[in-house]
Amino acid sequence: MESLEIKSIVAGILFGIWPLFLNRSGLTGNLGTFVFATIVLLCVFPFAANSLQDIASARWIWAVCAGIFGALGLLAFNSMVAKATPQAVGTFIVLMIIAQIAVPAIYQAIMTGGLPFSKIAGFVLAAVAAVLLLK
């Protein structure tokens, strides 16, 4: 499974599943985030241990910023997951994903130096999709 497309799809499926399980856990947002992050750390560490020599060459400011934004995002997201009903949690996850999609799309437009019509149309269609999926 070395295809980046396949890994993207698998990640999307798994990122879509874990909040549904966490919603059913009964944990509050902050405690749910702590429990989730601890379990993730325990599961990921054996894979990361092989690459510890790369830690010296890391660009730490970017790693720290990623960690801070990720932590704040997890706290906000898990607070929503903890308070949403099992019937409504899917709607809120769809809303979060639409917002999440916009960020890298805007980033790509900035990095490539423009916002072609196809990207503008994509944003409009994503907004339409969000409205239709949230009804």
- Of 59, 83, 107, the residue at which a domain comes to its end is 83
For the question of whether the overall pTM of this predicted structure is more than 0.85, the answer is: no
Q: 28-46 pLDDT, tens per residue? A: 999 999 999 999 999 999 9
Expressed as residue numbers, the domain containing 113 is: 86-135
Q: In terms of domains, do 27 and 60 share one?
A: yes
Give 37's contacts (C-beta < 8 A, 6+ positions apart).
Answer: 74
Q: 113-135 pLDDT, tens per residue? A: 888 888 888 888 888 887 887 77
Q: In terms of domains, do 65 and 117 share one?
A: no
Q: 6-27 pLDDT, tens per residue? A: 998 999 999 999 999 999 999 9
**Within 10 Å of residue 43's Cβ, how many Cβ atoms?**
9
Phi, psi for 31 (deg, rounded to 5): -70, -40
Q: 50-89 pLDDT, tens per residue? A: 998 899 999 999 999 999 999 999 999 999 999 999 998 9
